[in-house]
């Protein structure tokens, strides 16, 4: 029996707009897509991004002096309910995904903000100026926060047997998702003489605990994992029989294109100021002759640590700053090849 021949699919080229890409906002464009695939893929990605991305949030608190959310807090301007509503807006980055604790202790007249909270080492608070409560003269506020990880939204997990806990713990609703807003737009684009192909533009806004690039990759991984279980026969090798339109001209198989899949190549030639490092880290890098992002990503971790006066804190800051743009140390990019692609994209 002869092997069946299948018609190829149009494989889209996917890019992030480097001009607008930040740690909290990104715009991804996929084109060209088969007619009708823009809405199909856009809606699936949007739903997954809204409800399927992991994050961390405060899920319960112990507030000294009260045992339920309807109590009055002596010496505090806000009542317990308002304080809990403020607590829900605390943005927590969990570096390990493991549960953690945080504590707040204020005595005397003061405005209690997130920067007053002492958190476990693996927890990082990203909105330090957010107000938790206002403490009056002679008053005090002591709160213990319990942080968990999860997906999407979860209602308060009160134990079924009783509402008032012996330790005074109050359980709160939690929004784990780091995605704050997601929208997509489907436009028409041309392939040769055919104008019926789709162009998908996906706009993603996060709370800063995860980058748009990371949450998009997570969402694709979720969808791929789920869809693989629907495959009950031999998979049709569309990736082998299909191609990206114009791939021959753009040489997408080149080393530079592979190294920067999903990242616009012109980002490489921007100054390191784009990464908004602290003054200390920035000055150390400039003094070492590292003025462009491509200079930085081509360094190994050992080479970076050997820079004069470059401490551990600055080292971690650089790694985190690069990660937010989908980059890392030791990428070993061929600058000549990257420059050639950059000139083509102008």
Q: What is the pLDDT of residues 267-316, one digit of tens each?
A: 788 888 888 888 888 888 888 888 888 888 888 888 888 888 888 888 88
Please tell me the predicted confidence (pLDDT) of residue 270.
84
Q: If pLDDT is split at 50, 70 and 90, which confidence band does 255 have?
A: very low
pLDDT for 57 beyond 50: yes
Please tell me the predicted confidence (pLDDT) of residue 252.
40
Radius of gyration of the chain (CA): 25
Tokens of 22: 């930040």
Q: What is the mean pLDDT of residues 136-157?
A: 94
- What contacts 39, CB < 8 A, 6 or more positions away? 186, 198
Least confident of 40-44, 126-130, 321-325: 321-325
pTM over 0.85: no
pLDDT for 263 beyond 70: no
Please tell me the predicted confidence (pLDDT) of residue 254.
46
Q: If pLDDT is split at 50, 70 and 90, which confidence band does 251 have?
A: very low
d(CA 207, CA 177): 9
Please tell me the predicted confidence (pLDDT) of residue 238.
81
- Domains of the chain from N-terminus onward: 1-48+180-245 (3.30.1360.10), 54-175 (2.170.120.12), 263-346 (1.10.150.20)
Tokens of 194: 């055919």
Dihedral (Cα; 283, 281, 278, 106), 10-degree rounding = -140
Positive or negative, the CA dihedral 306, 308, 309, 313 is negative
């Amino acid at each position: 029996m002869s092997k069946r021949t299948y018609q190829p699919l149009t494989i889209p080229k996917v890019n992030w707009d480097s001009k607008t890409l930040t740690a909290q906002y990104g715009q991804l464009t996929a084109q060209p897509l088969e007619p009708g695939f823009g809405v199909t893929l856009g809606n699936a990605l949007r739903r997954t991004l809204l409800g399927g991305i992991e994050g961390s949030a405060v899920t319960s608190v112990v507030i000294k002096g009260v045992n339920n959310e309807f109590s009055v807090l002596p010496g505090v301007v806000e009542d317990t309910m308002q304080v809990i509503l403020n607590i829900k807006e605390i943005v927590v980055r969990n570096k390990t995904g493991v549960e953690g604790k945080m504590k707040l202790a204020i005595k005397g007249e003061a405005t209690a903000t997130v920067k007053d909270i002492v958190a476990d080492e693996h927890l990082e608070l990203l909105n330090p100026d957010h107000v938790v409560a206002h403490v009056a003269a002679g008053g005090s506020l002591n709160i213990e926060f319990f942080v968990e990880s999860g997906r999407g939204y979860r209602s308060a997990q009160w134990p079924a047997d009783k509402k008032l806990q012996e330790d005074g713990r109050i359980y709160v609703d939690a929004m784990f998702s780091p995605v704050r807003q997601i929208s997509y737009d489907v436009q028409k684009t041309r392939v040769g003489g055919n104008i019926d192909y789709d162009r998908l533009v996906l706009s993603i806004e996060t709370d800063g605990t995860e980058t748009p690039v990371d949450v998009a990759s997570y969402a694709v991984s979720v969808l791929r994992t789920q869809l693989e279980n629907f495959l009950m026969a031999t998979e049709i090798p569309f990736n082998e029989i299909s191609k990206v339109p114009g791939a021959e001209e753009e040489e997408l198989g080149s080393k530079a294109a592979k190294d920067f899949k999903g990242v616009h190549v012109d980002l490489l030639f921007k100054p390191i100021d784009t990464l908004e490092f602290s003054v200390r880290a920035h000055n150390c890098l400039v003094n070492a002759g590292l003025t462009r992002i491509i200079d930085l990503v081509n360094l190994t971790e050992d080479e970076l640590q050997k820079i004069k006066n470059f401490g551990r804190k600055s080292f971690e800051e650089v790694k985190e700053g690069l990660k937010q743009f989908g980059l890392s140390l030791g990428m070993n990019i061929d600058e000549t090849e990257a420059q050639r692609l950059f000139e083509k994209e102008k």
